[in-house]
């Protein structure tokens, strides 16, 4: 896979293939449906291995990177991945700076009303603790009264807030939640002793656990689908077509197997879910 890094102000963008690579085919999406003519601009936050990350050589890697490259090949157009923190992504799309989000975002009904969402995988939330921690977490209620770190504006933050608010109303006990910009910052806060535990997407948790940096205390919380998202329905429909082609020829499942992530079940369709912008 060809990856070219360009710098625009403080935003790094990764071009997965040059335009010349598609000289022999016709783009599946007309320029009038795109933010910039001739290419698909998708945001990514490469701090969540193995979904998306920067390797030791500075190369962009992960499931979502290879998924975007494969979609680009099938749409016959370059895909440019624009690096930014998650909270900035939806505002950037609404401002017309990008065409969509490719960052392992969890699907929610609320989000499906803001953009055209295309669920493509399954994940859950895990609780991790420092390697020397003696804290026990056998059930979510063990979070009550403790200090938890989460990534701001994330699914795991929303899950934890709802969980804490419900218990506070019923029992008076709550979680002391601290938010951080990225999963990397969340883990750093945990290892610095600023919090008792951290909530991570399960695939990220497994990756950090495999490196011996943290211990997994509890997992499979709030299981939900992960989703791509787009501002334009025509673009979303083209991506759905590409994903279904990938499922039919085995490329889709092979990518999830390669990175140890969980694909949709065979009876879960790859389609736009929700009404889109209302």
Higher-scoring residue by pLDDT: 10, 29? 29
For the chain, give the percent of residues with pLDDT over 90: 89
Q: What pLDDT, in 10s, does the model give residues 71-97?
A: 999 999 999 999 999 999 999 999 999
What local confidence, expressed as pLDDT, does residue 7 receive? 42
For position 13, what pLDDT does the model report? Answer: 85
Asked if 105 contacts 52 with a C-beta cutoff of 8 angstroms, the reply is: no
**pLDDT over 70 at 4, yes or no:** no
Q: What angle do CA 151, 187, 130 make, to 5 degrees?
A: 130
Q: What is the pLDDT of residue 18?
A: 80
CA separation, residue 223 to residues 48, 125, 151, 229, 266 (Å): 17, 7, 17, 19, 17
For the record, the structure tokens of 37 come out as: 């003519």
Question: pLDDT-based confidence at 167, cuts 50/70/90?
Answer: very high
The fraction of the chain above a pLDDT of 70, given in percent, is 96
The CA–CA distances, whole Å, from 38 to 33, 79, 238, 239 equal 10, 9, 14, 15
Model pTM score:
0.88
Q: Is the pLDDT of residue 9 over 60?
A: no
pLDDT band at 270 (very low <50, low <70, confident <90, very high): very high
Per-residue model confidence (pLDDT) at position 12: 73
Q: What is the pLDDT of residue 1?
A: 56
User: Which tens digit of pLDDT belongs to each residue from 181-233?
Assistant: 999 999 999 999 999 999 999 999 999 999 999 999 999 999 999 999 999 99
Give the pLDDT score at 24.
87
Those residues with Cβ within 8 angstroms of residue 165's Cβ, 6 or more apart along the chain or in another chain: 174
pLDDT tier for residue 11 given thresholds of 50, 70 and 90: low
**Domains defined along the chain, listed by start:** 4-123+225-263 (3.40.190.10), 124-223 (3.40.190.10)
The pLDDT value given to residue 3: 53
Q: Do the strands 116-129 and 60-61 form a parallel or antiparallel pair, or are they unpaired?
A: unpaired
The pLDDT of residue 100? 98
How far apart (Å, rounded) are the C-alpha atoms in residues 174 and 138?
17
| Spatial distance between the Cα atoms of 256 and 33, rounded to a whole number of angstroms | 29
For the cut 90, the answer to whether the pLDDT of residue 10 exceeds it is: no
Collect contacts of 138-141 with beta carbons under 8 A, ≥24 apart: 138/218, 139/218, 140/218, 140/221, 141/167
Judged on CB neighbours under 10 Å (0-12, 13-18, 19+), 148 is buried
Average confidence score pLDDT of the chain: 94
pLDDT of 152 above 50 = yes
DSSP 3: -
Tell me the pLDDT tens digit for each residue of 91-142: 999 999 999 999 999 999 999 999 999 999 999 999 999 999 999 999 999 9
């Amino acid at each position: 896979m060809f990856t070219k890094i360009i710098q625009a102000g403080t935003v790094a963008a990764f071009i997965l293939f040059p335009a010349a690579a598609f000289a022999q085919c016709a783009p599946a999406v007309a320029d009038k449906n795109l933010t910039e003519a001739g290419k698909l601009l998708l945001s990514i936050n490469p701090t969540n291995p193995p979904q998306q990350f920067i390797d030791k050589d500075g190369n962009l890697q992960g499931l979502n990177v290879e998924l975007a490259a494969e979609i680009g090949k099938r749409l016959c157009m370059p895909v440019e991945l624009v690096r930014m923190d998650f909270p900035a992504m939806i505002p950037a799309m609404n401002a017309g700076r990008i065409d969509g989000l490719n960052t392992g975002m969890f699907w929610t009904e609320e989000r499906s009303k803001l953009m055209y969402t295309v669920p493509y995988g399954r994940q859950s939330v895990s609780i991790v603790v420092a390697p020397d921690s003696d804290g026990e977490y056998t059930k979510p209620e063990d979070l009550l009264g403790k200090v938890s770190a989460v990534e701001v504006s994330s699914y795991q933050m929303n899950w934890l807030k709802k969980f804490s608010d419900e218990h506070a109303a019923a029992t008076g006990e709550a979680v002391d939640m601290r938010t951080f910009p990225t999963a990397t910052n969340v883990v750093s806060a945990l290892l610095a002793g600023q919090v008792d535990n951290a909530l991570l997407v399960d695939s990220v948790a497994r990756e950090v656990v495999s490196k011996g940096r943290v211990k997994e205390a509890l997992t499979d919380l709030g299981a939900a689908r992960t989703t791509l998202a787009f501002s334009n329905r025509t673009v979303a429909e083209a991506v759905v077509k590409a994903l279904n082609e990938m499922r039919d020829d085995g490329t889709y499942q092979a990518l999830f197997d390669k990175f140890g992530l969980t694909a949709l079940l065979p009876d879960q369709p790859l389609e736009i879910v929700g009404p889109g912008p209302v």
